[in-house]
Amino acid sequence: MRVLVAGGTGYVGGAVVRVLRAEGHTVRALVRPGSPRPTWLGEVELVTGDVVAGTGLEEAARGAEAAINLVGVLRAPRGQSHDAVHVQGTRNLAAACLRAGVRRLLYVSAVGADADGATPYLRAKAAAEDALARSGLEAVVVRPSVVFGPGGPGPNMVQTLRDLVCRAPVVPMFGDGGFLLQPISTDNLAVGIARLLALPAAAGRTYEAGGPERLPYREVLRRIATAAGRRLRCLSVPVAPLRAMLPLLERLPGFPLSRDEFTMLLAGNVCDPTAFWQDTGVQPEAFTGR
């Protein structure tokens, strides 16, 4: 198929584009105006457009048979909201796809997306799913947990933790570190997305995508340290004082955690990926810390 990928220049998007090309699809990647040309994507068609502004989308969708929306931000850009990026962006892309005759749009959401979610990010993801369901397109939703492994540039939680383990004298351990994560590899996620895009039975369905293990945060850190050949030195940080300080700390340049990210981290990030693995036929890859 000819596939339009919005967000293909991001961390997960880079892996998705590579898999689509390897499986014989023709890829057209949407690039925001003024962005550097992402030559690392390889032989893909690049079209300039912006899902939030709604510009360039009809040209991008013209001639495509399916589309993937990977656009997402954990922290809303200055001057924009999560609703603008996730909800309005999804509406704009879906409308352009409908006018261009695109049949199917796969939306990459997030584990925990809910209209009553604990953060604006999770509420916006749920609203975007709802907007897609009402769009008139064949909608497929994938909700991934924490992602690890090679991808494109962009925020990468596991890489951030690896940098802390390798460079910081101590690594903060929030509470007892018992909250659960379910890491899924970029390769597993990307292959699954590519297969669901082409699977007729996936239309109208929502898939949760997590790895084969539910791991406490402290075990995630231990595996990262082992893989890096480092000794793990942790400093226990009480949750309540840190939560109170985050409104100030998150303003510091390079500080790796916002209030919303902290809330989602403590809530855990686990799911039931049974349908994802069954329908894609992908072999789950365990988290090794790399």
* Pairing of β 138-144 and β 147-148: unpaired
Residue 219 CA: distances (Å) to CA of 169, 173, 224, 232, 254: 19, 11, 9, 11, 25
Q: To which H or E segment does residue 280 belong? A: helix 274-280
Give Cα 9 distance to the centre of its chain. Answer: 12
CATH code 3.40.50.720 region(s) in the chain: 2-154+183-212+270-280
Output the tens digit of pLDDT for each of the chain's 290 residues: 999 999 998 999 999 999 999 999 999 999 988 887 787 788 899 999 999 999 999 999 999 999 999 998 887 777 789 899 999 999 999 999 999 999 999 999 999 999 999 899 999 999 999 999 999 999 999 999 999 998 887 778 888 888 888 888 888 888 888 999 999 999 999 999 999 999 999 999 999 999 999 999 999 999 999 999 999 989 888 888 888 888 888 787 767 777 888 888 888 899 999 999 999 999 999 999 88
Q: What CATH homologous superfamily does 2-154+183-212+270-280 map to? A: NAD(P)-binding Rossmann-like Domain (3.40.50.720)
Query: In the chain, how many H helices and how many E strands?
Result: 11, 13
Task: Classify 140 as helix, strand or coil.
Answer: strand
